[in-house]
Structure formats: structure tokens, C-alpha cells
Structure 1
Amino acid sequence: MNKITKVMLVEDHPEYRDVIDLALKDQPDMQLISQVGSSERALQVLQNQLNDNAPDLILLDLNLPGMSGLEALPLLRSCCPNAKFIVLTQSDCESDVLRATQLGASGYLLKSSTVNQIIEAIRTVAEGGALLGSGVAKYILSKLESRLASIELQDELSQRELEILTLLGDGQVKKEIAGQLDISTATVATYVRRIYEKLNVQNAPAAITQAYRAGILPLDQKDGAAKKSSD
């Protein structure tokens, strides 16, 4: 006989609790042993629960009344050290995903996930695996690609070229950059030409756009450069 995974649900919306309750009732290898609406209540239940009825897996919302799911996660783990955790939330914020995994969550799903996706996530994590929902995984991958592009771009350009690119992003023209860096305008022009060659662009707006996309320059610099790039 297959082991039954005992599940605890920490979720403040009764309608969503009902959805999860109905979904797990149809699974012969899962049992929803408790459902509560706050982190504080979850801690009370776990502290008073006998070891043989402790959950194997806890589905945890983050946006809870009172103590948030992120605040509660280490406390819940302390009360139930053998349990696995899946965050089930509306938040696709990168910092929430990273923090939850750092605190010991083995899974992170958005509430937009289908019931089947949630069921499969429970099985995966209960068997010792880890899982990110598809929406979250795509988001994190996008952020990672952006960071890698930033690293590659910074490796490609010299420190002086990055400095001049930043000043271009501030909207400064070559003469202004030369005065600020105490070098000749011709030297600045040489550096700018090298920047264009390395980035494979033809002008300052294109260079600034590429640096912006790579995360080197903030968004508010992008428009400033386009206005003063025809020197």
C-alpha cells in the first residue's frame, strides 16, 4: 500500500481552501488533515499535535493576516522539522521566491496553477523533489538571463568604457564627459567608438538601450541620453 501524504493547508480564503479540500479528497495517496486561516493558528495546531498525526507536507500562503507566510516559515519548520513545504501564493515577486526557498520551501506555486499541477507538485515534493511553478520558473529564468547579460556586458567593456557609458546614460555629451573626467574630447570620442564597436551599435541611444536591457543602467537614464546624443 502506498504511503498517504498528510497535508496541512495554511490559507486565509475559505473558497480556496474548499477547492484544495475537494481536490485532495479525490487522491487516494493524500489526506488533508488540517486547514487553518493564519500562521498563528497553524503554529498552535502544530504545537498541540501528536507526532503520529503531524503533516508530511504544508501548503503555505504568503499573504496571510497577521504573521506572513515568510515570517512563519522558519517557525513552522521548527515545530514540524520533518515536513516539506510548498508555497502556494499569488506573489511572483523574485524576492519572495528566493526568500521562501532560502527558508526551506521545496516548492513554489502560483494560485493560478491548475488543481492537477498542485496535486503533482505535492507528489513531487513529498517524494523528495523540488518544484517551481511554470510561471515562476519563467520569471526567474528571465531575471537570470538579464543578470547574465549584465555580467557579459560588464566583462566586455573596460572600467573607463563603463564609466563613459554611464555618463552617456546621464545625457552628457562628449565635451561634458571630457571635462568631468579631465581627458580630451578626442579621447572620449575614441572610447565612445570602442563602446559602439563592442556593443555592435551605431549611436548613443542604441548603446544606452542595450545597457538598460542588461540592467547596467536604470530606466530613467535611457530617455535622457537620447536627447543629447548627437554631439
Structure 2
Amino acid sequence: MKTRVSIVDDDEPTRKILIEVIGCVPTLQYVSDYGSSAVALRQLLADRPDVVLMDINMPEPNGVECVRVLKRQMPGTQFLMLTVYQSAEHVFAALAAGATGYLLKETRREELVAAIEQIALGGSPMTSAIARKVVQSFAQPGSARPTFEDLTPRERQVLECLSQGYLYKEIADTMGIGVPTVATHIRKIYEKLHVRSRSQAIAKYLGHPATGG
């Protein structure tokens, strides 16, 4: 089944490029695009996309507020911010509003496609510079340290791969398993560590003292 993708960005050339990228990938299906967040708020619910690529710098309401409203109406849809903003303030505002991923517009096409496929499988893709900001924020001294005893050896191996920046397919190839199996392991890791995203899981992993096993 193809992943249905919609685009919300007030820059028409950007929308055209994104439509072209989506159209070249057999596993993705272009659904709709909007140059106005106000129009998107009226139409996206009927479009039923699996993933929405959302810009932040939009005329009122901005992309973050748009996500905040739409996520309540479309809890099953994943919102991937695609923006030029790198500040921690923008990142955390977007994540708090309900975005599941955060990429910069300078992201290469193949990385964007991988991110869309990853977010559809339950991941939380982020540009590496953005992920570092999130990791740093969760790894502050004195933060609670989780226990990892409940993770299986395979889940620990997956988490180690995540911490090294591997994509789902790269983890699958490394471990000799399928991508859906990787997604299942990651969902279980999130549940056991009480986190909601890849970045939070990595932050807890990096802040955890090394243990045997």
C-alpha cells in the first residue's frame, strides 16, 4: 500500500519540487498541496493523507499552529516539518504541537524520501543537526536515568543502530531482518523506555551508563 502524502507550503516552486520527488517514488502517492494553511485546515481532513509535509513560515496561522489544530482532528496522520528554521525554539514548538519529524529544506531528495517512509512506519526522522539539539536537551545533568533491563538483546542492538544515525533500511540490512520487524522493535523500545520518538530514545540511551549484555 502506498503512503499518501500532502504538502503545505506557501512557496509554489517548493511545492512543485516536492510533488516531483513524491511522483518518482513507487511507494509514495501524492494526494494534495496547499499554499495556505487556512485552506489546508479546511481541506486536509477530507484528503486523508498518511503524511503531511509542513512548512513553518506560513501566513497566519503558521505551520506549527496548523499542526496543533490538525493533529487533534487527524491523530493518525504524521506531520513532518520541512523548514529552514534550525532554532531549538522552533523545533520544540513543532514537536509539542504534534509534529513527528523535523527536516531542514536543504535535505537531499533521497534523505527526504527515506524520512517519509520512516515516519510512515512509526519513526521520528530528523536532520542530524536538529536531532543533536533534541538529544542535548534531554541529556541535561540530573535528568532521570532509565533502566534498560527490559530491552531484549535485539532491541538493544536496534537502539545502538539508532544512536549511530542508521535509517530503518540500514538497520534491517545490518541485522538481517525486514524493515517491518525493525519498526516493531522500535515501537517496543519506545514503550519500554516511555518515550515517543527516536530522539528521546537516543537521548536516554546516550545518557545511560554502559552495562553488560
- Which amino acid counterpart does residue 111 of structure 2 have in structure 1? Q
Does residue 14 of structure 1 match 2:8? no
Task: Please give the secondary structure, in 2, of the residue aligned with 1:40.
Answer: helix
How many Å separate the matches in 2 of 1:101 and 1:78? 14
Question: Is the contact between residue 10 and residue 35 of structure 2 (CA under 8 Å) also seen in structure 1?
Answer: yes
* Cα pair 2:8 2:54 within 8 Å, conserved: yes
1:57 is matched with which residue: 51, 62, 67? 51
Establish whether residue 100 from structure 1 lines up as the match of residue 105 from structure 2: no
Structure 1 position 134, deviation (Å):
1.3
User: Structure 1 residue 141: deviation in Å?
Assistant: 4.3
Instruction: Give 1:28 shift.
Output: 0.6
**2:65 corresponds to which letter in structure 1?**
E
The count of aligned residue pairs is 143
**Correspondence list, 1:115-194, <5 A:** 115-141=109-135, 147-148=140-141
- Residue 36 of structure 1 pairs with residue 34 of structure 2: yes
Question: Alpha-carbon deviation of 1:64?
Answer: 0.3
In the alignment, is residue 4 of structure 1 matched against residue 2 of structure 2? yes
> Structure 2 CA distance, aligned partners of 1:139 and 1:130?
14
- Structure ranking higher in helix proportion: 1
Question: In structure 2, the residue corresponding to 1:131 is in which secondary structure?
Answer: coil
Q: 2:106 aligns with which of 82, 107, 112?
A: 112
- Contact 2:65 2:97 (C-alpha < 8 Å) held by counterparts: no
Which residue in the other structure is 2:65 paired with? 71
- Give the CA RMSD over aligned residues: 1.9
Deviations 1:119-165 (A, max 9, x none): 110000000111211121234445667x54xx7xxxxxxxxxxxxxx
**Matched residues in 2 for 1:7 and 1:128: separation?**
15
Give the superposition deviation at 1:75: 1.0
Question: Per-residue displacement from partner, 1:10-35 (whole Å, max 9, x unpaired)?
Answer: 00111111111111111111011000
What is the aligned partner in structure 1 of residue 179 from structure 2?
none
**Which fold has the larger relative contact order, with Cα–Cα distance below 8 Å and residues 6 or more apart in sequence?**
2
Amino acid paired to 2:32:
S
Q: CA deviation at 1:70?
A: 1.0
CA distance 1:32–1:143, change in 2 (3 Å): same
Q: Percent identity?
A: 30
Please state whether the residue corresponding to 1:62 is helix, strand or coil. coil
Runs of 4+ with deviation above 6 angstroms = none
Aligned partner of 1:229 in structure 2 is: none
In 1, the alpha carbon distance for the partners of 2:96 and 2:125 equals 14
Q: TM-score, normalization: structure 1?
A: 0.57
Q: Which has the larger radius of gyration?
A: 1
Cα distance between partner residues in 1 of 2:91 and 2:8: 17
